[in-house]
Amino acid sequence: MGSVKSSTMGAISQKKTWLFVPATRIDRVTKAFASGADAVIVDLEDAVAQADKAQAREALKNHYDDQNQKQTYQPIWLRINKAGSDAFHKDLALCQQMPKLAGVLLAKAEQAADIEFVHQRTGLPVIALVENAIGLYQIDNMAKATGLVAFSYGFLDLCNDIHVQVGTPAADIIANQIRYQLILTSKVHQLSAPIDTVYPDFNDETGLRARVQLWSQMGMSGMLCIHPKQVATVQQSLQPTDQELSFAQRVIEEYERSGRAVFKIEGEMVDAPVIARARQLLKQLLTQ
């Protein structure tokens, strides 16, 4: 994976909110960045009808050319169409004309060769979107692909493909199994932690907060967002509580004072993993 992995993974792991913008509404890119999103993804795939893809590519190229002349240019990510499709090859040709893209999201990724093909043609880091049974089955092989930096997944597409009823307890079980597989595979192959799928109901703030708590506790790195209002909710939901920060501070203070590897605070046993977690929380606070 070489220099792409070493130079990009650290930055990706710091990105918590990935906001989609349809390529047919390229005027929304500036607003998307203004929302505070850590990364903006222009979508040339599902958000664009087949008949509109050519016009969307042209609009995107014009936007890129205009923004690239400015000192304030902010690189965007681009979701391209499935490998092997006519749209895929046209999307790749467009990427080659926009070398300052942040990277590429490959829709419906199924094999390592496609990821490597995208990377070789564009020189850009690739995030693979797992959206069907074949892709899920092949994640271990895809994880070895040169140019791959992270996985994400499209849960609704996956449910349709494997005949899971969305919105049921069964779907929750499947979703967590997918998360676990992606987390484990990413860790073993030294990729950035995976990015969680979209939360479709952008008016359900309570549900979104619960989802963020779930994937963050599982160890995922961020979340795909479909509406600007989701960005602030995700970011706020990831903030440690005052109680958590206070406990972390006491852990570090006691560790540095005593030098002991194991001790108690308020009856709770503290050892190396707890100390490491406390350091992470305090470091997170300092970097915000």
User: CA-to-CA distance for 131 and 11, rounded, in angstroms?
Assistant: 24
User: CA-to-CA distance for 100 and 67, rounded, in angstroms?
Assistant: 11
Angle between helices 155-162 and 169-188 (to 10 degrees): 110
Intervals of the chain under pLDDT 70: 1-7, 9-10, 285-288
User: CA-to-CA distance for 288 and 273, rounded, in angstroms?
Assistant: 23
* Cβ 80 vs Cβ 107: under 8 Å: yes
CATH 3.30.460.30 assigned to domain 2-237? The reply is: no
Helix (H, G, I), strand (E, B) or coil at 8: helix
Helix H, strand E, coil C: the string for 133-202 is: HHHHHCHHHHCCCCCEEEEEECHHHHHHHHCCCCCCHHHHHHHHHHHHHHHHHHHHCCCCCCEECCCCCC
Q: What's the CA angle centered on 43, arms 191 and 64, to 5 degrees?
A: 95
Helix H, strand E, coil C: the string for 201-234 is: CCCCHHHHHHHHHHHHHHCCCEEEECCHHHHHHH
pLDDT of residue 93: 96
Place of tokens 């708590």: 213
User: CA-to-CA distance for 8 and 176, rounded, in angstroms?
Assistant: 26
Chain centre distance of CA 200: 16
pLDDT of residue 195: 98
Chain centre distance of CA 36: 15
Q: What pTM was computed for the model?
A: 0.87
Q: Where are the domains of the chain?
A: 2-237, 242-287
Place of tokens 């998307």: 32
